[in-house]
Amino acid sequence: MAASVTQLVLLLCLSGTLADQSFTSSDAITAQESIRRDIKAELKELRDMVVEQNEELKATKAALDIQRMLVGDLRRENSALGASQRATTIRLELLEKENQMLKENVEMEKKKKATEMTPAQGLNALGTKVAFSVALDCPGGLTYGPFDELTKVIFKWVSTNIGNAYNPATGTFTAPVRGVYYFRFSGVDDRANMWMVILQLERGDAIDARIFPGTRFAAAASGDINLSGFLLFSL
């Protein structure tokens, strides 16, 4: 009986031991599979990260290539702008020189004209312009005069009066500036008569034409009896 009990106890112990060993092996396998799954998941995640980083690197490289191209284009544009600016500067310098030459030529022409001025131009070196041309309002075929005394001739028909120095209401020319003036009278009495005179006048000096007693002038055509004058140069 005791032997039977002992055998039963041994069998139970052996069975428990085998059961413990079986449980331990199953847990180890399960743990290993779990670790493998975790490792696979981590490896997959790492691969995905590597792929994503590769894509980002490709995009970054493409962006860098585009930036390099843009920098190259900007450098070429900057070089072209620099060349254009230099060309513009050269053109401006040439235009300034040409403008200066034109100014010098204009000044030379002004001086040349001033030295070559003729009485007919009616201008003076200081730029004052004085010139007039007037005539008697006398139809052709009529006569003017004679008079018993020295008579002032009033030329009312005005063709030119630059500077307004001649007054057609009074028949008087008043010198606007101090200078040398040229005057010419033309008329017909017994013969064709014309006289010219050059006078130095002060500013405000008055000049008029007068007909001697017993003298008359005939007008073959309107405007035959006339007076003109102009400033040669001022003083």
CATH number at residue 218: 2.60.120.40
Phi/psi region, residue 136 (left: phi>0; alpha: psi -120 to 50; beta: rest), is beta
What is the DSSP annotation of 152-176? Answer: EE---EEEEEETS-EETTTTEEE-S
Q: What are phi and psi of 199, to 5 degrees?
A: -125, 145
Using a cut of 0.75, tell me whether the model's pTM lies above it: no
Which of these ranges, 1-10, 19-28, 33-42, 51-60, has the smallest mean pLDDT?
1-10
pLDDT at residue 95, rounded to an integer: 77
Residues 99 and 25 in one domain: yes
Integer-rounded Cα radius of gyration of the chain: 61
Structural domain for 139, as ranges: 120-234
Residues 95 and 6 in one domain: yes
pLDDT in tens, 141-192: 567 777 888 888 888 889 899 999 999 999 999 999 999 999 988 776 655 5
Last residue of a domain, one of 68, 101, 116: 116
Residues 94 and 146 in one domain: no
Residues 229 and 127 in one domain: yes
Last residue of a domain, one of 116, 143, 159: 116
Residues 163 and 213 in one domain: yes
Q: How many domains does the chain have?
A: 2
Residues 70 and 137 in one domain: no
Last residue of a domain, one of 116, 142, 159: 116
